[in-house]
Amino acid sequence: MTFQDLKIIEPIKNALQEEGYTTPTPIQAKAIPIILENKDLLGCAQTGTGKTAAFAIPMLQLLHENPVGKFEKSHIRALILTPTRELAIQIGESFAAYGRHTRVKHSVIFGGVGQKPQTDALHKGIDVLIATPGRLLDLINQGFIKLNQLEFFVLDEADRMLDMGFVHDVKKVIKLLPSKRQSLFFSATMPPAIVTLASTILRNPARVEVTPVSSTADTIRQSVFFVDKTDKNSLLLHILKDESIATALVFTRTKHGADKVVKVLRKAGVTSEAIHGNKSQSARQNALKNFKAQTTRVLVATDIAARGIDVDDLTHVINYEIPNIPETYVHRIGRTGRAGAKGIALSFCDHEEKTYLRDIHKLIAKNIPVVNDHPYALGR
């Protein structure tokens, strides 16, 4: 199956092609047709299964095909509620990528930063709001946000909302929504409290379930280096002294982090380029072309930008930062060791990332071997 088969409109199909996507993941293939039919959806899926695109693509399509009148421009038409700032930013990047050829405007709001840039964006008028619960309620109470004209509501990572103590905030938000709306509810697990919450939000939902990726290919040799955060650059340069590493794909968690790593590598004379959401499409395509041609030795990528990367004969993936979502680790290292070829996945783990590493061990049901024999080894 291709996105062509899912009756995706041209502007979005073109954006997907530019991102390097042709084949939908199982959750996308199941969820997109249901959402396009304006039905409520209960999705049991983890991050890393492609669920953001599963709701972003059909929502963008429905919003683009049914534009509002001039006087309704100030109304928020869709709300996506998500537990963490990192997830909110990732979802925002997805809407920017898939919706770049549509008229749909979106904005991301979360706490821990000044609210003025966020309220300025709201004032200009947006269609889609991606928010964490605390900041959303705060701006509603200040009168910056009204949800009475909402057409779509997405509750993402519902079980994490529960774990993080946000369920009361979520219930407060639900009370403010119009009863006539399309609701989409996603959770990795379905404990009784989540089932109860879903029943208060959804009307006759279609249920979609996908099993998460949890295994890593046996052809990939994995290892982890415990290292102080401040020594990661030195460790990366130390590893790249090995001339047998023709090319390496390096992952960071943020765009800013990717740019910083490239700066360090270039200063040391290593040809490298970054690929992330702030780069233009042509810059990303050029970086990928140079990497495939091996004129660029190191490609530094964020997770969202890396989704379309498919490089034959890639031998090394380096996790400069451990991903905060364990499934992401499986996706990242799956870029190497393709089609029976051997691959090597190296991960740099600082003190703060040890909990992320434990989550990965739990998911893949084995411990990644530790390399202690390096100049920057951290006393564990």
Most confident of 15-19, 122-126, 218-222, 271-275: 271-275
Q: Which region among 29-43, 66-80, 117-131 has the lowest average model confidence (pLDDT)?
A: 66-80
Vertex 302 angle, CA 98 and 42, to 5°: 50
| pLDDT at res. 48 | 64
Q: Are 30 and 50 in contact (CB under 8 A)?
A: no
- Is residue 379's pLDDT more than 80? no
- Is residue 84's pLDDT more than 90? no
Q: For the chain, where do the domains classified as CATH 3.40.50.300 start and end?
A: 3-209, 220-364
In SS3 terms, the chain reads as: CCHHHHCCCHHHHHHHHHCCCCCCCHHHHHHHHHHHCCCCEEEECCCCCCHHHHHHHHHHHHHHHCCCCHHHCCCCCEEEECCCHHHHHHHHHHHHHHCCCCCCCEEEECCCCCCHHHHHHHHHCCCEEEECHHHHHHHHHCCCCCCCCCCEEEECCHHHHHHCCCHHHHHHHHHCCCCCCEEEEEECCCCHHHHHHHHHHCCCCEEEECCCCCCCCCCEEEEEEEECHHHHHHHHHHHHCCCCCCCEEEECCCHHHHHHHHHHHHHCCCCEEEECCCCCHHHHHHHHHHHHCCCCCEEEECHHHHCCCCCCCCCEEEECCCCCCHHHHHHHHCCCCHHHCCEEEEEEECHHHHHHHHHHHHHHCCCCCECCCCCCECCC
Average pLDDT of the residues of the chain:
89
Could you tell me what percent of the chain has a pLDDT over 70?
A: 93
pTM: 0.65
| pLDDT at res. 321 | 96
State pLDDT tens for residues 209-225: 886 666 677 788 999 99
- Is residue 314's pLDDT more than 70? yes
- Is residue 95's pLDDT more than 90? yes
Cα of 25 vs its chain's centroid, Å: 14
- Taking CA atoms, 351 is separated from 153, 198, 225, 255, 374, in Å, by 38, 37, 11, 22, 17
- Is residue 47's pLDDT more than 70? no
d(CA 301, CA 274): 6
| pLDDT at res. 18 | 85
State the average pLDDT over residues 349-375. 93
CATH code at 220-364:
3.40.50.300
CATH code at 3-209:
3.40.50.300
More confident residue, 165 or 28: 28
d(CA 25, CA 58): 14
